[in-house]
Amino acid sequence: MTGTKDEQLSYEQARAELASVVEKLEAGGTSLEESLALWERGEQLAGVCQRWLDGARARIDAARQRAED
């Protein structure tokens, strides 16, 4: 699940999948290749979460600015 499908993930969906990836990495027992794939997926999901958070911050800042004007 990458690219356009990632853009359709809600923050909560991306965060939940990221938590699952972290659990798998922490549990160990995966091959190096699997671990790398999990790490890469985690980076993608972290990016999705960050975009959601950046968007939320921009909305809050805009609302504050309107309230001050």
Mind listing the domains of the chain with CATH numbers?
10-68 (1.10.287)
Q: What angle do CA 46, 8, 50 make, to 5 degrees?
A: 25
pLDDT along the chain (69 residues), means of 10: 77 98 97 98 98 97 93
Q: Is the dihedral of CA 14, 16, 17, 21 positive or negative?
A: positive
Whole-angstrom CA distances from 69 to 62, 64, 65 are: 11, 9, 6
Quote the pTM value: 0.84
The pLDDT value given to residue 65? 93
Judge contact between 49 and 11, C-beta under 8 A.
yes
Judge contact between 42 and 18, C-beta under 8 A.
yes
DSSP 8-state secondary structure symbol assigned to residue 35: H
